Structure 1
């Protein structure tokens, strides 16, 4: 059985005081301001934490037909984590401001390259401060680690796969965007509004409580069973706007004991850029 995908602020403080091979990674970011996360990190972060930028390390180059946050080259991503000091056995803890939207992306990417020893700080930086943790502004140095690509167990699908699935409906699609964007309303990020035909909606923020902590596993399990019925996790494709908040639903299902889902990395931002694709609204 895999260890918990989450770690509390209290547990993290204890580990940092007693263990050496722990790498903390700050994933703060703002979709509306690409520099906001790095600025927040520079203004104060968990001591010893490195910064992972969504637009660079956690994504690949954007082209005219990709989504907004394509997956990075796996080797380049592994090299970037090794440069922070990550080894094959290192416990890597990802955090962001509060609800783990961006931390979940790092969690998924590390699992994608075969690194199992990764956890997300439940409640993010907010809970760290509430637990009495301090911040500093020093950028840490690190001796290069040995983290390398290993067996990858986080499946993905392509645009072509999604187009075929829209016709066959062999697998269930889950859209992690807010209900209004799912309906095609108030779209301010992508060129057009709407959703991939047949997709169900599970807004990622429904996975956490008002304080940004994930809801109990039993509650998450019941909610996903209500949404998906008897569909096994392996038959579920997760997508969102650009493949980021979809990772949050994948993490929530993992917490609920329903791991095994698939990510469509391009998500709506790739789908809506293709010619003559079907779109649902309302």
Structure 2
């Protein structure tokens, strides 16, 4: 288990000469995931996301980016996964409470990002999903709650259809990725990772895991945890999740 692949302690930041410390709020993530037609949490194009990252947040491919949140951990995870998809090289999520003023560092104001996503296989559209069903070495996991998966509720005021996507298996952790707070301790993080590693839905023969939830936030945290645990060669998030899929195929 390589926790440091994605997470960092506050005391470890002191050894980094230049980094960008960014507090991720739900408003920031909502803004990044709103397209030009004001559709929220639907798949946004690379160019739309890149433009906002460059102009609003001065994100650079080379910058050591440290994200933290005072809200749910999935919010920082979602932002981190989008940066990972684009191709940023150094992304960490800060664990444990900090005083941001103690860790301010200068960072390059020269923002540059690649012209295409450098890790295109970690983010999947609903249009691409049907081709994935042909693979015998891919595991499809729905990390929503059981009530959402079973169709008892939609889980969102703006999602009009309930149910689940065929081929996706229910994750018995019952939507836990949406409940983890951003101010958890390192020990608590380790316990959540151990909990994930013990569930029996993972097959060592699987080469690829595709996670989904309602829109992609919980699935992004599940994907990051899976990378830490090295559960498959390729970890992918179905972007826009049940929200977009249900509107495309159930209306």
TM-score under structure 2 normalisation?
Answer: 0.76
Q: Which of the numbers 123, 145, 154 marks the counterpart of 1:178?
A: 145
Q: Which has the higher strand share?
A: 2
Correspondence for 1:252: 225
**Would you say 1:128 and 2:117 are equivalent positions?**
no
Q: Which runs of 5+ in 2 are unaligned?
A: none
CA–CA separation in structure 2 for the residues paired with 1:151 and 1:276: 30
Number of matched pairs: 235
Q: Please give the residue correspondences for 1:179-198 in structure 2 after superposition, counting only pairs within 5 Å.
A: 179-189=146-156, 190-198=159-167
Alpha-carbon RMSD: 3.5
Q: Secondary structure at the match of 1:249?
A: helix
Q: For residue 219 of structure 1, report the CA deviation from its aligned partner.
A: 2.0
**Would you say 1:273 and 2:244 are equivalent positions?**
no
Q: Please give the residue correspondences for 1:1-282 in structure 2 after superposition, counting only pairs within 5 Å.
A: 4-12=5-13, 14-15=14-15, 19=17, 21-29=18-26, 37=27, 53-61=28-36, 68-83=40-55, 84-122=57-95, 127-129=96-98, 133=99, 144-149=109-114, 152-155=118-121, 156-165=123-132, 168=134, 170=136, 171-189=138-156, 190-202=159-171, 203=174, 205=176, 212=184, 213-215=188-190, 219=194, 222-223=197-198, 226-232=200-206, 234-258=207-231, 260-276=234-250
Q: For residue 247 of structure 1, report the CA deviation from its aligned partner.
A: 0.7
Q: For residue 267 of structure 1, report the CA deviation from its aligned partner.
A: 1.0
Q: For residue 191 of structure 1, report the CA deviation from its aligned partner.
A: 0.4
Q: Which runs of 5+ in 1 are unaligned?
A: 30-36, 38-52, 278-282
Q: For residue 69 of structure 1, report the CA deviation from its aligned partner.
A: 1.0
Q: Secondary structure at the match of 1:254?
A: helix
Q: 1:121 to 1:134 in 2, by over 3 A?
A: closer
Q: Which has the higher helix share?
A: 2
Q: For residue 99 of structure 1, report the CA deviation from its aligned partner.
A: 4.2
Q: 1:209 to 1:273 in 2, by over 3 A?
A: closer
